[in-house]
Amino acid sequence: MTALEWHTYEVGHCLHPEGSVRKGGAWRPVRFPALAFLIRHPERGAVLFDTGYGKHFFAATQRMPERLYRLATPPRLQDDESLVSQLERDGIGSDEIGTVVLSHLHGDHVGGLRDFASSTIFCAREAWHNLARRGRLSATRKGLLHDLLPENFLQRVRWIENAPPAGLPECFREFSPGRDLFGDGSLIALHLPGHAAGHYGLFFRGRDGEPILLIADAVWSSRALRDGVPPPAMTTSWLGNTLAYRSTFERLVRLHRAWPWLRMVPSHCLEHRP
Ligand SMILES: [Zn+2]
């Protein structure tokens, strides 16, 4: 498996009562960073895993009912903090991003998608279908915003479900087979159901062959993974399916205990920043 350079970007944050993301947590608001990841592939160039917030998020939540999203989890993003601005400062133009892989379609993961107008998009068909069938209010209640997808989304998307099945190390036996996005075994999408429709993580080898699993929102913090404490059912039922979420969560906790050298990186926790 190819060893890939990767970087983490914090692209804005929102405020959440701690108790809504951690069972038994306090009700004071805590900072909830929105992370995006850049992975450098030797042939495919720069690949993003999610995009964090972006100016489009604020435009899309200007009016009701979408504004409810912004009121429920107040986001913060400085002008120069969008992913496209941060990449530019690192010498990477938006047109150099060949591929954007979407873990799922929540607004804090796809808020910057429109800034990458020439990228191929990998997304679960299940995720798109779940958004496409909803009206504005129903979508907003699930953390989804129609306006964040570019108009030409369907011309640019490649469905994750259509990628060939991939072999994963034996310790992944409790999960369904991965999906080999580029057909070369370098980036493998892993279905992590429960948090939202069509929710995927991404497995690859980082520097020195270190195994990395970006777990998106299947677990919200490294601490939760260590302690085995899931978020309250109220939150997971509101966003997705608690039964499926808990099953994924427990499998990830077991995987973490069985294979501690696998670096699992949640999308809203800075503990594992490389
Ligand atoms: Zn989410």
In this prediction, residue 204 carries a pLDDT of 97
- Looking at residues 216-242, what average pLDDT do you find? 89
pLDDT at 197 over 70: yes
> 230 CA to middle of ligand 1, Å?
14
**Mean pLDDT (the chain, rounded):** 92
CA 174–ligand 1 middle distance (angstroms): 22
Cα(112)–Cα(52) distance, integer angstroms: 6
In terms of residues, how long is the chain? 274
Which has the minimum average pLDDT: 10-19, 88-97, 192-201, 252-261? 10-19
pTM higher than 0.85: yes
Ligand 1 center from residue 106 Cα (angstroms) = 5
Residue 234 burial by Cβ neighbours in a 10 Å radius (0-12, 13-18, 19+):
exposed
CA of 98 to the centre of ligand 1 (A): 23
Ligand 1 centre from 40 Cα, in Å? 24
Distance CA 40, CA 44 (A): 8
Which residue intervals of 55-213 are DSSP H helices?
55-60, 67-72, 83-89, 107-110, 125-132, 136-141, 153-156
17 C-alpha to center of ligand 1: Å? 16
For the chain, the helix, strand and coil percentages under 3-state DSSP, each to the nearest 5: 35, 25, 40
Tell me how far the alpha carbon of residue 87 lies from the centroid of ligand 1, in angstroms: 23
How remote is the CA of residue 196 from the centroid of ligand 1, in Å?
A: 7
Give the DSSP H/E element, type plus range, for residue 9.
strand 5-17
Handedness of CA 71, 73, 76, 79 (dihedral sign): negative
For residue 217, report the distance from its CA to the centre of ligand 1, in Å: 5
pLDDT above 90: residue 2: no
Q: Considering only CA atoms, which of 66, 37, 36 is closest in space to residue 53?
A: 36
C-alpha span between 49 and 36 (Å, rounded):
6
CB-based burial label for 17 (10 Å; 0-12, 13-18, 19+): middle
Distance from the CA of 218 to the center of ligand 1, in angstroms?
8
- Residue 36, classed as helix, strand or coil, is strand
Distance 266 CA to ligand 1 centre (A): 11
Average pLDDT over residues 102-129: 97
Asked whether the predicted pLDDT for residue 231 surpasses 60, the reply is yes
pLDDT over threshold 90, residue 65: yes
Ligand 1 centroid vs 208 CA: distance in angstroms? 30
Distance between Cα 26 and ligand 1 center (Å)? 21
Phi then psi for residue 59, to 5 deg, are: -65, -40
Q: Residues of 235-266 as b/e, b for ≥16 C-beta within 10 angstroms? A: bbeebbbbeebeebbebbbebbeeeeebebbb
Q: What is the distance in A from the centroid of ligand 1 to the CA of 45? A: 26
Q: Which residue has the tokens 């068909």?
A: 125
Cα 165 to Cα 201: distance, rounded to the nearest angstrom: 14
* pLDDT, average across residues 228-241: 87
What is the rounded CA–CA span in Å between residue 237 and residue 101? 25
Please report, as a single letter, which amino acid is at residue 227: D
Distances (CA, A) of 133 to 12, 75, 137: 29, 26, 12
Q: Is the pLDDT of residue 274 over 70?
A: no
Q: How far is the CA of 63 from the centre of ligand 1 (A)?
A: 21
Task: State in Å: Cα 177 to ligand 1 middle.
Answer: 22
Mean of the pLDDT values across residues 219-239?
87
- Residue 127 pLDDT more than 90? yes
Max Cα distance, the chain (Å):
49
Give distance in angstroms: CA of 107 to centre of ligand 1. 8
96 CA distance to ligand 1 middle (Å): 26
Residue 230 pLDDT class (50, 70, 90 cuts):
confident
Q: How confident is the model at residue 221 (pLDDT cuts 50, 70, 90)?
A: confident
CA distance 221 to 268: 7
Whole-number pLDDT of residue 273: 66
Evaluate whether 86 touches 132 at the Cβ level (below 8 Å). no
Measure 232 CA to ligand 1 centroid, in angstroms: 15
Q: How many angstroms separate the Cα of 137 from the Cα of each of 31, 55, 59, 125?
A: 26, 21, 16, 21
Across 23-32, 64-73, 242-251, least confident range: 23-32
Q: pLDDT (tens digit, 9 = 90+) per residue, 161-181? A: 999 999 888 889 999 999 999
pLDDT of residue 15: 82
The per-residue pLDDT for range 15-58, each reduced to its tens digit, is: 877 766 666 776 777 888 999 999 999 999 999 999 999 999 99
